[in-house]
Amino acid sequence: MIRTAIISNHLAEDLAALVQKGMVLTDDDSLQTYSHDDAEWAPFETPLAVVLAGTTSEVANVVRYADERGIHVVPRGAGSGLSGGANSVGDCIILSLELMNDVVEINADERFAVAQAGVINDALRDAAAAVGLWYPPDPASSGISTIGGNAATNAGGICCVKYGVTRDYVLGMTVVLADGEIVHLGHRTAKGVTGYDLTGLMVGSEGTLGIITEVIVKLLPLAGREEQGIVGYFPSLRAAGVAVAAISSEGIVPAALELIDRTCLRAVDEWLDLGLPADVDALLLAKIDERGTAGRELAHRVAAIFRDSGGSNVEQSVDPADVGRLFLARRMAYPALERLGPVLTEDVCVPRSAVPEMLSRIQASAARHDVVIANIAHAGDGNLHPLIIAPMGDMPAKARAKAAFDEIVDDCRALGGTVTGEHGVGLLKLSGAADELEPRVISMHQSVKDALDPHGTLNPGKAFPHNDVVGQRAEAG
């Protein structure tokens, strides 16, 4: 049960006594900056204060203070989320972990790393590479997103089709619970099954069950991979989707299989002048990283599937610089589109065999609602990211965009998919999650939340549909 907040007239002074000097922000600019993540379409309120924590103990101090007074705490990493998971709620403190950015340990012998929650994904990858190791999860935001945020949302990425998502690499973590107690979960060994998998429970919990301040992640050898790129241009999104489904049906698991449509290519090229093609409807990028003959044979098979599915100008063994340029275009698609107007980002995941049909339905939604929908995708695992653009201040266009967003969610579920593949439920996907999850499953979520956070202190209203959301959907139905 959530209690009425007891907010001190001297809140900033109280918080300042719990952290290092100068780490409590209450000015209007800071409150506005920290009030939401990149999902600006999701609702948010002005926080009471922003605290920049420097240690796990400081996080615990702030959480304990808030829990005792019925004040909410919304944890935040880099604020790069796309579902509203870090958006401010009423009577809340934004607790930022961005300053906790040390790679504490790289153990080359046991192949694991220990990193504070504020470490940027690419920084961890660089630290691992320095000793010949590799951290595979690589969200498109790897240059700006934090390891703590990746763990909180169970982030995926370009390599996840073959190498898995964040949950597959988190061995253990340090967590601050809702009452301010610090616990250590998981292990540092290659295997470990003592007790329930509480580490796995925390991964993807979006800061609603505890605040992750440090993670232990397993690493893979960097050597032994020999990357080859395959590029194909397609006359339609559906044709590209047919290629994706065919690759899956043949049992091929590429190291990456990414889709970029015409709108994204044009937006990126106008911004970064990368010399991208402008006369194609879709581009598929594949990577094969098996060595020797096996790798070359797989690359030939993928190239053949591209051609058989209608692809043109199919190239393989592409120069690494060209492959890097095209994958840069994939990573920069979202910020490039943001320059055109507010972007409502979808994150649906469908069976790979359903990718062609889902892409067709997305195009149909764009036409039906008269909105611009650009498409990027981790196509190899069916994770599609339709990006719906509405001009700034155009409220009718915003309403049409929201209608298209909801329709895409419904189409995804009708094809056997899930409403979020990697961005998390946050606030944007609450209604879709209410449709996807069975009532008893929702009550199980609530039971876990109540057990670990009985006062509703941590990131309330996020990650799963609460009773009020379920009731609203029932009434609408």
Query: CATH code at 20?
Result: 3.30.43.10
CB 74 within 8 A of CB 85: no
424 neighbors 206 (Cβ within 8 angstroms): yes
- Of 284, 277, 279, the closest CA to residue 245 belongs to 284
Residues 405 and 380 in one domain: yes
Residue 446's SS3 state is helix
- For 317-344, letters b (16+ CB in 10 Å) and e give ebeeeebeebbebbbbbbbbbbebbbbb
In a domain, 425, yes or no: no
Last residue of a domain, one of 96, 127, 145: 96
467-476 vs 439-452: helix crossing angle, rounded to 10: 160
Sorted by sequence, the CB contacts under 8 Å of residue 251 that are 6+ apart come out as: none
Could you read off the pLDDT of 16-38 as tens digits, one per residue? 999 999 999 999 999 999 999 99
pLDDT along the chain (477 residues), means of 10: 78 97 97 94 96 98 97 97 96 98 98 98 98 95 96 95 97 98 97 96 98 98 89 95 97 96 93 86 94 93 97 85 83 90 93 97 97 95 95 91 96 97 96 96 97 97 76 42
Q: Is residue 397 part of a domain?
A: yes
Examine residue 21 and state whether it is found in any structural domain, yes or no.
Answer: yes
For residue 251, which amino acid is it? G
Whether residue 365 is found in the same domain as residue 268: yes
Contact 358, 411 (CB under 8 A): yes
- Whether 1 is covered by a domain: the verdict is no
Is 410 found in the same domain as 307?
yes
- Specify the pLDDT at position 68: 97
Task: Name the nearest CA neighbour of 276 among 231, 245, 242.
Answer: 231
- Residue 238: give its domain's CATH number: 3.40.462.10
SS3 category, 364: helix
pLDDT (0 to 100) of residue 467? 65
| pLDDT for residue 2 | 53
Give me the CATH number covering residue 108.
3.30.465.10
Together in a domain, 331 and 295: yes
Q: What are the residue ranges of helices labelled H in 136-236?
A: 147-153, 160-163, 198-202
Q: Are residues 240 and 204 in the same domain?
A: no
Q: What pLDDT, on a 0 to 100 scale, did the predictor assign at position 473? A: 39
In the three-class reduction of DSSP (H, G, I as helix; E, B as strand; rest coil), residue 43 is classed as coil
Looking at the fold, whether 444 and 353 belong to one and the same domain comes out as: no
* Angle, helices 355-369/237-249, rounded to nearest 10 degrees: 160
* pLDDT (0 to 100) of residue 469: 41
Whether 170 contacts 143, CB under 8 Å: no
Classified as helix, coil or strand, 374 is strand
Query: Could you tell me if residue 442 is inside a domain?
Result: yes
pLDDT of residue 415: 98
Residues 90 and 118 in one domain: no
Decide: helix, strand or coil at residue 129: helix
Rg of the Cα atoms in the chain: 22
Same domain for 275 and 389: yes
Residues in the chain: 477
Task: Let me know whether 232 and 379 are in one domain.
Answer: yes
* Residue 6 within a domain: no
Domain residue limits at 460: 430-476
pLDDT in tens, 35-76: 999 997 899 999 999 999 999 999 999 999 999 999 999 999
pLDDT reported for residue 472 = 42
Check residue 76 and give its pLDDT: 98
| CA–CA dist 215, 205 (Å, integer) | 14
Structural domains counted in the chain: 4
Q: Which of 456, 464, 450, 468 is nearest to 2 (CA)?
A: 456
**Which amino acid, residue 17?**
A
Domain boundary among 47, 72, 96: 96
Same domain, 152 and 274: no
Helix pair angle (237-249, 292-308), 10° resolution: 140
Structural domain contains residue 286: yes
Same domain assignment for residues 239 and 214: no
Looking at the domain assignment, is residue 5 inside a domain?
A: no
Domain boundary among 188, 221, 254: 221
pLDDT of residue 476: 43
Are residue 304 and residue 373 in the same domain, yes or no?
yes
Q: Which helix (H) or strand (E) holds 439?
A: helix 439-452
**Identity at 434, one-letter amino acid code:** A
- The two three-digit tokens of residue 106, written as one number: 């790289």
